[in-house]
Amino acid sequence: MKKLINAILTIILIPMITLLILSFNLQTIIIDTISTSIVKEEIANNIDEIITDAYNINNEQINKEIKENLENSNITQEITNEYLNSIIKSLESNDKNPPNINNYIEKIIDENEETLSKHNITLNEEQKNTIIAEINTTVINDTYEKIINNLDTNITNQNNNIIKLYNILISNTFKIILTILIAIDVLMIAIIKKSFYKWTYNLGIAGIINGIGLAIIYPLSSEIITNYLNKTTTYNFNINNQSITTSTYACITLSVILLIIYFICKQINKKEQNN
């Protein structure tokens, strides 16, 4: 009976660990995907158009360098995070106004000033303000308004439930509850086994199964989602698997360490019993 309960508790650990990993990575994955596929492209193209109009130059090289700068910048992720949170909040309230991101755009312009200066282009405050206004009006706010109107018109109860589920999964409350549940599960295993170290075996096995499962299933599922998004939208999406991959490797590594601790403690315990 004890073995059956231990097995059940170990099996329960697997989905809880999976959910905890997803909870810590889901927001990062979504924000990185949107900012890479949409925001960076739109901002880079918009800055290029304004520079072309202002200086009447062939800016293909500038476009390339600006895009490289944006790829190495965290500001577009911050912009995406602001807009994503605002869109989700708009579905729960009557506030449809986009967030103010002027300070983020100013930072982007400042980051690219060195690139522009290489091509003998200097932006004064008026030109900077023009770029900010253009990006806000023609790119971000227009896109934001279209998304909000589309959601207001077409959102279904199922989509609304998905958004609510997303909010729950990324919340700190959910992470704390999951961590407590995992700790209780491990504590129950330790009490049943009446040992200070044998629980490391169960947690280690659950972690390895979880890590291997995520390493196999997640890339396949992300590829399916990417193909669907690319077919149903005008953007070229590419889901970044780096954060979830790092978490998966960390989970497997920690699990292996727990198993090593288990076998070391087991050997020490055997020697003490023999003596």
State which of 156, 186, 215 marks the end of a domain. 156
| CB distance 252 to 212 below 8 Å | yes
The answer to whether residue 268 scores a pLDDT higher than 80 is yes
Q: In whole angstroms, how far apart are CA 169 and each of 46, 91, 125, 213?
A: 34, 17, 42, 20
Q: How many residues does the chain have?
A: 275
Quote the tokens at residue 42.
């739109």
**Which pLDDT value is given to residue 177?**
94
- In terms of average pLDDT, the best of 96-110, 134-148, 204-218 is 204-218
State which of 156, 185, 216 marks the end of a domain. 156
7 & 48 share domain: no
81 & 174 share domain: no
35 & 105 share domain: yes
- In angstroms, rounded to a whole number, what is the distance separating the alpha carbons of residues 42 and 45? 5
200 & 265 share domain: yes
What phi, psi does 239 have (nearest 5°)?
Answer: -75, 125
Average pLDDT of the segment spanning 239-248: 80
Angle at 91 between CA 102 and CA 98, to 5 degrees: 15
User: If pLDDT is split at 50, 70 and 90, which confidence band does 178 have?
Assistant: very high
175 & 128 share domain: no
The better pLDDT of the pair 258, 198 is held by 258
66: domain range? Answer: 31-156
The answer to whether residue 176 scores a pLDDT higher than 80 is yes
pLDDT digits (tens, 9 = 90+) for 63-116: 777 767 766 777 777 777 777 777 667 666 666 677 777 787 788 778 777 777
* 43: amino acid identity, one letter: I
224 & 110 share domain: no
What phi, psi does 116 have (nearest 5°)?
Answer: -65, -40
138 & 74 share domain: yes
Burial string for 140-160 (b: 16+ CB within 10 Å, else e) reads beeebeeebeebeeeeeeeee
State which of 156, 179, 201 marks the end of a domain. 156
The answer to whether residue 185 scores a pLDDT higher than 80 is yes
109 & 218 share domain: no
- In angstroms, rounded to a whole number, what is the distance separating the alpha carbons of residues 6 and 79? 47
pTM comes to: 0.68
pLDDT digits (tens, 9 = 90+) for 26-71: 777 776 776 666 666 666 666 666 666 666 556 677 777 776 776 6
15 & 75 share domain: no
35 & 151 share domain: yes
**Which pLDDT value is given to residue 42?**
65
Domain count, the chain: 2
**Dihedral (CA of 5, 9, 11, 12) sign:** positive
Quote the tokens at residue 162.
């998905």
